[in-house]
Homo-oligomer: A and B are copies of this chain.
Amino acid sequence: MTVPPPPWRSAPRRRAAKPVLSQASIVRAALIVLDDEGFDAVTMRRIAQELETGPASLYAHVSNKDELAELMLDAVLADIQTPEPDPARWDEQVKELVRDQIQVMAAHRGIARIAWDIPVPVTPHSLRLGEATLALLRAGGLTLKQATFAGDALALYAKAYAYEASGWTWGEFDQAEAGERGEQMVAYMRSLPPEAFPNLLHVGEFFSAETAKERLEFALEAFLAGLKVLAKN
């Protein structure tokens, strides 16, 4: 029972009025929803709503939610610049690249979660990052095989770290609740039986959100120091 539009009012010509739907615009909208409302809010319906349309419309430009996720990740990774390898400070460059990856993922809370849902990322910027990492590691004197394995481990750790970090700042608790939760954590650990948990007892203070960066730096430093040892054999 649809009624034709009244002839005295010019037809709104919606098609031209609102920006055309495209893969890029869908990805952009999805990222906006992700940034504003978090991972759980990124549903096909919510994205469609953002574009003032229905969920079915998205499937003309994106075949899957998984594919959309891949596109989102790639769009985010595009912000990372890859350096020219400098053999004199290759280790610092590797660290920098990992830091950049994590920072970019932190800028879009929840993208790390999405990254885990993608089995093998073969998008353009993923490949670019992979190649750049390999080049740096080779500049450090590692064989291709060693570089491959090291790059895999670094990528894995970066994703894991970013995911955990996004959990801290976007679990289900908002910023205010996070601090409270942290203190509860410390208190709980202190309450453990001392004879069974002599070490864990005092760990609470090292585990706050403030030490997150420090934990990252430690892991990077240790791993790269190890790489230098292995490279000499």
Interface string of A163-196 (1 = CB under 8 A from B): 1100100010000000000000100100010001
Work out how many copies of this chain go into the complex.
2
Please, could you name 27 A-B residue pairs with CB atoms under 8 Å apart, sorted by A?
Answer: A116-B116, A119-B171, A122-B188, A127-B192, A130-B200, A131-B199, A134-B199, A146-B218, A147-B199, A148-B203, A148-B207, A149-B206, A149-B218, A150-B219, A152-B215, A153-B215, A153-B222, A156-B157, A156-B160, A156-B161, A156-B164, A160-B160, A222-B227, A222-B230, A225-B226, A225-B229, A226-B229
**Are B138 and A199 in contact, CB atoms less than 8 angstroms apart?**
yes
Q: Which residues of A contact B (CB under 8 A)?
A: 116, 119-120, 122, 127, 130-131, 134-135, 138, 144-150, 152-153, 156-157, 159-161, 163-164, 167, 171, 185, 188, 192, 196-200, 202-203, 206-207, 214-215, 218-219, 221-227, 229-230
Q: What chain B residues lie within 8 Å of A167 (beta carbons)? A: 119
Main secondary structure of the interface of A (DSSP, over half): helix
